[in-house]
């Protein structure tokens, strides 16, 4: 096993809150994340007031549905912002991991809120089939403005949302809203020019289905972290076989791999090893942790070693 000379530097430079894990995924620092969420929150609040006002004036269910979604966005984005601020606090007292799991909890709340919202929109849409609303070019213009703003936010957040559940929750809200605006544009056009009175309700049902689909994956991934499952990107068997491949390692026991927060994977294991001098054991530990760092992007690893002879005596 080869050891990179840069590892010793990386080990001390690695920051719990601002690390890239040497992956191709674009990451964002905690400070940048907070600034980004402030921008998103401000734009979403402005759009909410615009959609609510015109939705009530024009009696458009689609616009009111989007406004309702935006209201939930403002609340959940506020929670996401609070969680990002809390995640920057260092470990203290009983909070030995700090407050990084707050972001996962907020991501779960985000997903559940999206599910509830999708049910509400679907319920209102079914009733709207009986009493179709009126549509106008004003509705079309307002929806087009909303789609343009959300498209800009999607471009900004897309590359940053893959490795961060908190940002992913915000991103999915924006994607759902963009789809909502697109649905409003299509439905309004159909009602205004083709007199398809059912189009507004049908568009709302489409939005409800899209929201529930995106919410399920967010809820599931959040639960995976809270239940301390191994990350989907981690092959547990491969890691176990890799640890066993080291010459002085005889057996790997009690291997646990979990996610502390988005992008921060931890590992602990009990290793049965050959009897070694203290210096050789330290060298083996360094090699194992370096390999986990370089090959699997696991920076938080705790390895307990027990000599084979001691294991036999215990048995």
Q: Tell me what the mean pLDDT of segment 68-89 comes to.
A: 79
* pLDDT per residue as tens digits for the range 256-268: 999 988 778 999 9
Q: Which residue has the tokens 């919410």?
A: 215
Handedness of CA 283, 284, 285, 290 (dihedral sign): positive
Contact 81, 65 (CB under 8 A): no
Distances (CA, A) of 202 to 141, 196, 246, 248: 20, 10, 60, 65
**How does DSSP assign the chain, residue by residue?**
----TTHHHHHHH--SSS--TT-SS----HHHHHHHHHHHHHHHHHHHHHHHHHHHHHT-HHHHHHHHHHHHHHHHHHHHHHHHHHHTSPPBTTBTTTTTHHHHHHHHHHHHHHHHHHHHHHHHHHHHTTSPPP--HHHHHHHHHHHHHHHHHHHHHHTTSTT-HHHHHHHHHHHHHHHHHHHHHHHHHHHHHH--TTHHHHHHHHHHHHHHHHHHHHHHHHHHHHTTPPPTT--HHHHHHHHHTSTTEEEEEEEEEEEEETTEEEEEEEEEE----HHHHHHHHHHHHHHHHHHH---EEEEEEEEHHHHHHH-
pLDDT of residue 69: 65
Both tokens of residue 69? 């979604």
pLDDT of residue 128: 66
Handedness of CA 184, 182, 215, 36 (dihedral sign): negative
Q: Which pTM value belongs to this model? A: 0.68
pLDDT of residue 157: 79
4: pLDDT strictly greater than 70: no
pLDDT of residue 18: 37
Contact 3, 293 (CB under 8 A): no
13: pLDDT strictly greater than 50: no
Q: In whole numbers, what is the pLDDT of the chain averaged over residues?
A: 78
- Top mean pLDDT of 27-41, 79-93, 178-192, 222-236 is at 222-236
Q: Which domains does the chain have, with CATH numbers?
A: 26-226 (1.20.1510.10), 236-314 (3.30.70.1350)
Higher model confidence: residue 6 or residue 109?
Answer: 109
Q: Which residue has the tokens 């999915």?
A: 172
| Region at 254 (left for phi over 0; alpha for psi -120 to 50; beta for the rest) | left
User: How many Å apart are CA 184 and CA 289, to the nearest integer?
Assistant: 53
- pLDDT level of residue 310 (50, 70, 90 thresholds): low
């Amino acid at each position: 096993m080869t050891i990179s000379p840069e590892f010793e530097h990386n080990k001390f430079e690695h920051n719990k809150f601002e690390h890239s894990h040497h992956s191709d995924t674009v990451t964002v620092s905690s400070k940048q994340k907070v600034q980004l969420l402030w921008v998103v929150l401000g734009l979403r609040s402005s759009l909410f007031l615009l959609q609510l006002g015109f939705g009530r004036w024009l009696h458009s269910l689609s616009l009111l549905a989007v406004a309702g979604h935006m209201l939930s966005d403002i609340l959940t984005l506020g929670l996401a912002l609070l969680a990002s601020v809390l995640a920057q606090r260092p470990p203290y007292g009983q909070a030995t991991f700090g407050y990084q799991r707050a972001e996962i909890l907020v991501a779960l709340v985000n997903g559940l809120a999206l599910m509830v919202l999708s049910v509400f929109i679907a319920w209102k849409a079914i009733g709207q089939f009986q009493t179709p609303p009126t549509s106008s070019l004003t509705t079309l213009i307002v929806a087009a403005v909303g789609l343009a703003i959300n498209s800009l936010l999607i471009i900004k957040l897309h590359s940053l949302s893959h490795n961060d559940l908190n940002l992913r929750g915000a991103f999915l809200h924006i994607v759902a809203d963009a789809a909502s605006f697109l649905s409003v544009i299509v439905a309004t056009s159909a009602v205004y020019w083709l007199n398809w009175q059912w189009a507004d309700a049908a568009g709302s049902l489409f939005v409800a289905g899209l929201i529930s689909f995106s919410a399920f994956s967010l809820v599931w991934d959040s639960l995976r972290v809270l239940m301390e499952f191994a990350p989907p990107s981690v092959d547990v068997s491969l890691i176990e076989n890799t640890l066993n491949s080291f010459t002085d390692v005889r057996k790997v026991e009690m291997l646990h791999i979990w996610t502390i927060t988005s992008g921060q994977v931890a590992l602990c294991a009990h290793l049965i090893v050959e009897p070694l001098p203290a210096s050789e054991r330290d060298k083996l530990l360094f090699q194992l942790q370096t390999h986990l760092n370089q090959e699997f992007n696991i920076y938080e690893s705790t390895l307990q070693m027990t000599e084979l002879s001691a294991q036999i005596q215990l048995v």
